[in-house]
Amino acid sequence: MNLSQLKPKAALPEPEKTHLKQATQGHRFDAELVAVTKSYGPGAPAVDDISLRIPRGSYCCLLGPSGCGKSTTLRMLAGHEDVTEGAILIHDEEVTHKLPVDRGTSMMFQDYALFPHLSSLDNVAFSLKVRGVATTERRKQARAYLELVQMDHLADRLPNQLSGGQQQRVALARSLITRPKVLLLDEPLSALDPFLRIKMRSELKRIQKELGISFIHVTHSQDEALALSDMIVVMNDAKIMQAAPVREVFETPTNAFVARFLGGQNVLTSDTHQVSVRTDRCRLGRSPGMRSLEGQIAMIEYQGNLVRITLQTTLGDEMTVLQSDTEYFAQNPQIGDTAVMSWHPSDEHVLDPMQAG
Partner 1 sequence: MATRKRKRPASFYVLATLLGAYAVFLYAPMACVYVLSFQGPQGGMSFPMVGWSTHWFQVLFQGTGGQGVGDIPSAFRRSIRLALIVGVLTMIISVSAGMAYRRKFPGANFVFYSAIASMVLPGIFVGFGIALTFNLLGWRVNWFSSGIGAQLTWTLPFGMLIMFIVLGRFNPAYEEAATDLGANARQRFWMVIVPIILPGIIAITMASLTSSYEETARTQLNVGTGNTMPMEITGLLTAATSPVIFAVGTVTTFVSFSLVIASLLIMTRLAKRRSSRTAQ
Partner 2 sequence: MKLNPKAVSLLQVAPMGIIFTAMVLVPLLIIIVVSFLDYDFARVFPEIYLGSWQDVLTSQLTLDLYETTFKFVAIVWVITFSLGFSIAYFLVFHVRTLQIRLMLLAAIAIPFWTSGPIRAVAWVPLLGREGLVNQALLGLGIVDQPVAWLMYSEFAILVAYIHLLTMPMVITISNSMMKIPGSIIQAAQDAGASEFQIIREIILPLARPGIAIGTIFVVTAVMGDFFIVKTMSGGQVNTATMAIVTELNAFQYPPAAAKSVLMLAIVLGLVALLLRFADIRKELTK
- CA atoms of 167 and 158, how far apart (whole Å): 9
The site partner of 335 among partner 1, partner 2, none (C-beta below 5 to 8 Å per kind) is: none
Shortest distance in whole angstroms from residue 83 CB to partner 2: 16
The site partner of 306 among partner 2, partner 1, none (C-beta below 5 to 8 Å per kind) is: none
Which of 19, 80, 199, 344 contacts partner 2 by CB under 8 A?
80
Residues of span 52-71 touching partner 1 by CB under 8 A: 66-67
The site partner of 130 among partner 2, partner 1, none (C-beta below 5 to 8 Å per kind) is: partner 2
Strand, coil or helix: what is 104? coil
| Cβ-Cβ contacts under 8 Å for 320 (sequence gap 6 or more) | 266, 279, 282, 308, 309, 310, 311
Q: Which stretch binds partner 1 (CB under 8 A): 3-11, 76-84, 172-180, 194-202?
A: 76-84
Shortest distance in whole angstroms from residue 294 CB to partner 2: 52
Question: E strands along 13-162, which residues?
Answer: 29-38, 47-55, 59-63, 85-90, 93-94, 105-108
Which of 11, 33, 57, 126 contacts partner 2 by CB under 8 A?
126
Q: Which stretch binds partner 1 (CB under 8 A): 75-83, 212-220, 224-232, 291-299?
A: 75-83
Which one, 44 or 99, has the nearer CB to partner 1?
99
Indicate the angle between helix axes 120-130 and 164-176, nearest 10 degrees.
20
Residue 101 contacts partner 2 per CB under 8 A: yes
Q: Are 218 and 70 in contact (CB under 8 A)?
A: yes
How many C-beta atoms lie closer than 10 Å to residue 79's C-beta? 22
Please name which of 81, 32, 23 lies closest in space to residue 54, comparing C-alpha atoms: 32
The site partner of 97 among partner 2, partner 1, none (C-beta below 5 to 8 Å per kind) is: partner 1
Q: Which stretch binds partner 2 (CB under 8 A): 57-65, 121-129, 141-149, 278-286?
A: 121-129
- Dihedrals phi, psi of 268, to nearest 5 degrees: -145, 170
Which of 28, 97, 131, 153 contacts partner 1 by CB under 8 A?
97
Which one, 21 or 174, has the nearer CB to partner 2?
174
Which one, 131 or 206, has the nearer CB to partner 2?
131
Shortest distance in whole angstroms from residue 77 CB to partner 1: 14
Q: Are 176 and 3 in contact (CB under 8 A)?
A: no
- Positive or negative, the CA dihedral 77, 79, 82, 87 is positive
- Partners of 33 in the beta sheet? 52, 88
How many C-beta atoms lie closer than 10 Å to residue 264's C-beta? 17
Which of 34, 39, 49, 109 contacts partner 2 by CB under 8 A?
109
Shortest distance in whole angstroms from residue 352 CB to partner 2: 37
- Dihedrals phi, psi of 20, to nearest 5 degrees: -75, -35
Q: Are 318 and 310 in contact (CB under 8 A)?
A: yes
Question: E strands along the chain, which residues?
Answer: 29-38, 47-55, 59-63, 85-90, 93-94, 105-108, 182-186, 214-219, 231-236, 239-245, 265-270, 273-278, 283-284, 291-302, 306-313, 318-324, 338-343, 349-350
The site partner of 82 among partner 1, partner 2, none (C-beta below 5 to 8 Å per kind) is: partner 1
Q: Are 25 and 91 in contact (CB under 8 A)?
A: yes
- CA atoms of 152 and 124, how far apart (whole Å): 11
Which one, 209 or 220, has the nearer CB to partner 1?
220
Which one, 98 or 281, has the nearer CB to partner 1?
98
Residue 102 contacts partner 1 per CB under 8 A: no
Shortest distance in whole angstroms from residue 123 CB to partner 2: 9
Binding site for partner 2 (CB under 8 A): 78-80, 99-101, 105-107, 109-111, 113-117, 126-127, 129-131, 160, 174-175, 178
Binding site for partner 1 (CB under 8 A): 66-67, 80-82, 97, 99
